[in-house]
Amino acid sequence: DLDERLGTDYYAVFADLDAADRAVWDRAKTLVDETAPRMRDAWDTASYPLEVVRRFGELDLLTDGIDHPDLTHISPLAAGLVNMEVSRGDGSLGTVLAVQGGLALRTLALFGSAQQQSRWLRPLARAEVLGAFALTEPDHGSDSVSLETVARRDGDQWVLRGTKKWIGNGASGGITFVWARVDDETSDDHGAVRCFLVEQDTPGYIGTVITGKVSLRAIHQAHITLEDVRVPHDAVLPGTRSFKDASVVLYSTRSGVAWSALGHATACYEAALSYARQRVQFGKPLATFQMVQERLAQMLEELTAMQLYCRHLADLEASGGLRPTQASLAKYHNTRTARRIASTARDLLGGNGILLENGVMQHMADIEAIHTYEGTESIQALLIGRDITGMSAFA
């Protein structure tokens, strides 16, 4: 079955995988296929598929290639393939992986104290506890560097106050990594952005699930109000010292988004190809018409470019040579391209393309969210632009 899927791999970009990477990919693919009916229902009813997320945790598929002695290590390529495969199946699951593994677990693994890690790392990796990463605020999305949530020191406690928006897993009963600005004039940290580990049942933490979404309906994002939330002095992640630390996490997860976009686009291309071969109009299968073939060729051309970006990203990361703006370029290219592929596929399915049961419209809706999160298209362009010109055009 996996070999059949390699039919979309026209340049054999993933044909030389070693046994370990292939085993991880296979494990992800099997679980994605098994849980596909449940995920379609979850999207339709906007219900969080907790039992599916737990299965991913049990099978060690949430660690996103994070290199930490207490976590099962998988290569950047295997981590990318898991991202791709999961999003090929369902975008909400892809986003759960990005939040639980990519953002929350990575923040803890990179910046947490030994004590914080020994308490939370394994439960997060196994999805026994759900984790959230709270950076964005209602008034600060692309300019999250200007975040207004504050952490004030009071004796041996921190007191957090502010609001956060769009926080995946932010109302799940688990833990949230809250990025806040230190308000303590007596300390060298005054004004610095640091990260705090907050248990969601702490008094004053109010997480409300955002409803009415028409994208990624099966994962819940929260609006969070922090009303003088008191946490112990050691709730701060000692490795976080400035906003740059939040950026370090985001650089890593941007590669994951490029892979997710590839997963969505692969599903759309496969659906369009299969439909074009079966659907008969004017007495012949759609696939026999020249214009249809041209559109399929265009989709494959774009899909292959996405695969090449992803493979090279993984190889650069494995060699330790990946620069943040290279991940930006891949995200920029892949989410834009996935949007085009999804739109062409939707059109090729005709009226059936808008039915949820055919999947394409769901992917199309889900791609809209990944195109925006972890830095919008314009923000990636500004990051790349600053890198290649040496001039910042952000403000």
Residue placing its CB nearer to ligand FAD in the complex, 295 or 333: 333
- 196 lies in the site for ligand FAD, by CB under 6 A: no
Residue placing its CB nearer to ligand FAD in the complex, 163 or 376: 376
Per-residue binding string, ligand FAD, 56-95, x by CB under 6 A, is ----------------------------------------
How far apart CA 88 and CA 189 sit, in angstroms, is: 43
Residue placing its CB nearer to ligand FAD in the complex, 208 or 281: 208
Q: Which of 197, 188, 201 is nearest to 232 (CA)?
A: 197
Q: Which amino acid is at 343?
A: S
- 177 lies in the site for ligand FAD, by CB under 6 A: no
The residue assigned the tokens 């992800």 is: 28
How far apart CA 385 and CA 336 sit, in angstroms, is: 17
Minimum distance, C-beta of residue 141 to ligand FAD, in the bound complex (Å): 2
- 111 lies in the site for ligand FAD, by CB under 6 A: no
**Segment interacting with ligand FAD, rule: CB under 6 A, options 85-93, 163-171, 187-195, 251-259:** 163-171
Minimum distance, C-beta of residue 48 to ligand FAD, in the bound complex (Å): 14
Q: Which of 72, 118, 208, 378 binds ligand FAD (CB under 6 A)?
A: 378
- 193 lies in the site for ligand FAD, by CB under 6 A: no
- 271 lies in the site for ligand FAD, by CB under 6 A: no
Here the tokens at position 272 are: 């369009």
Q: Which of 339, 301, 323, 168 is nearest to 255 (CA)?
A: 323
- 314 lies in the site for ligand FAD, by CB under 6 A: no
- Alpha helices (runs of H) in the chain, residue ranges in sequence order: 2-5, 19-45, 50-58, 76-89, 91-97, 106-111, 114-125, 243-278, 290-318, 324-348, 360-372, 377-389
- 392 lies in the site for ligand FAD, by CB under 6 A: no
How far apart CA 135 and CA 220 sit, in angstroms, is: 16
Q: Which of 28, 31, 79, 99 binds ligand FAD (CB under 6 A)?
A: 99
- 325 lies in the site for ligand FAD, by CB under 6 A: no
Query: Contact 124/99 with Cβ under 8 angstroms?
Result: no
Query: Contact 182/191 with Cβ under 8 angstroms?
Result: yes
Reduced to 3 states (helix: H, G, I; strand: E, B; else coil), residue 97 is: helix
Q: Which of 120, 133, 177, 251 binds ligand FAD (CB under 6 A)?
A: 133
User: What does the binding site for ligand FAD look like in residue numbers (CB under 6 A)?
Assistant: 99, 133-136, 141-142, 166-168, 216, 221, 369, 372-376, 378-379, 394
